Amino acid sequence: MTTSYRQYTTIQLVQDLAGSSINITNDLISQAEELIDAYCASYTYPSSKAPFYEGEAFLTVTFSGTTGQLSNTYGKNYLQYTNLVVLEGTNKGKIVAVIESNNNQITINDSLSGSLECRISQLGKFPRTIDVSVIDNTYYKTIPFSVQRATTYLAYELYKDENLLDKATLATSYSLGRDGSYSETRTREGVQVLSTLSSQLEQILPTKVKHFLAEYKIQGLM
């Protein structure tokens, strides 16, 4: 993979924080992103702060390496920061991230081939609607700086401390949705799961990460 799944930070930014070319992987960054989303999972937000691409759509994509031709047409970068789940063939179940999109063409973070049915959704809670500007049918999306800093720092801490990684993985593994996201489930059972998860992460996450994410402090579900 050339990027992590949610694209909240990069290998280069983590290495810059460490001050050396440490062996950080996009898989480790993806785990840090999962924890960031889990910590913010039950944040009650107004519509302007909802994830930009909510829901899901199904479409046919013809892949050649990291380039995909879509069956639908969208504005430039409308699909950036979204994810495709392959629904058929030998790569069934594989998730890739959309790095760039332009009309009916996308660039993804891994290689695929052939014409495949896919489900598209935004795996991460960011970017939000408030993080997107549209000018002349071009979508300019950003990850909030505080989220980028939190993810960068957490990825570095996970790299240094395997015990932290083990604890965090155990805490979040049972709470992921079918596509790896943390949904704002309004059911009684869902509230209990998120409440338990929030308590665990409050104990596990480094204080600095929680400070970065103060704006998204877990709140009670409405």
Q: pLDDT category, 50, cuts 50, 70, 90?
A: confident
Residue 40 shares a structural domain with residue 75 = no
Query: How many DSSP H helices and E strands does the chain contain?
Result: 6, 5
Residue 34 shares a structural domain with residue 74 = no
Q: What is the pLDDT of residue 43?
A: 57
Residue 38 shares a structural domain with residue 99 = no
CA separation, residue 129 to residues 48, 77, 103, 125 (Å): 5, 14, 20, 10
Q: What percent of the chain has pLDDT over 90?
A: 60
Q: Total domain count for the chain?
A: 2
Residue 116 shares a structural domain with residue 178 = no
Q: pLDDT category, 193, cuts 50, 70, 90?
A: low
Alpha carbon of residue 140 to chain centroid: 17
Residue span of the structural domain in which 65 resides: 57-121
Q: Is residue 167 part of a domain?
A: yes
Q: Is residue 133 part of a domain?
A: no
Q: Is residue 6 part of a domain?
A: no
Residues 128 and 120: beta-carbon distance below 8 Å: no
> Does the pLDDT of residue 219 top 80, yes or no?
no
- Most confident range (mean pLDDT) of 7-11, 20-24, 54-58 is 7-11
Q: Residues 97-146: pLDDT tens digits?
A: 999 999 999 999 999 999 999 999 999 989 999 999 999 999 999 999 99
Q: Is residue 111 part of a domain?
A: yes
**Main-chain phi, psi angles of 3, to 5 degrees:** -145, 170
Residue 175 shares a structural domain with residue 202 = yes
Q: Residues 70-81: pLDDT tens digits?
A: 988 899 999 999
Q: What is the pLDDT of residue 222?
A: 31
- The CATH number of the domain where 89 resides is what? 2.40.10
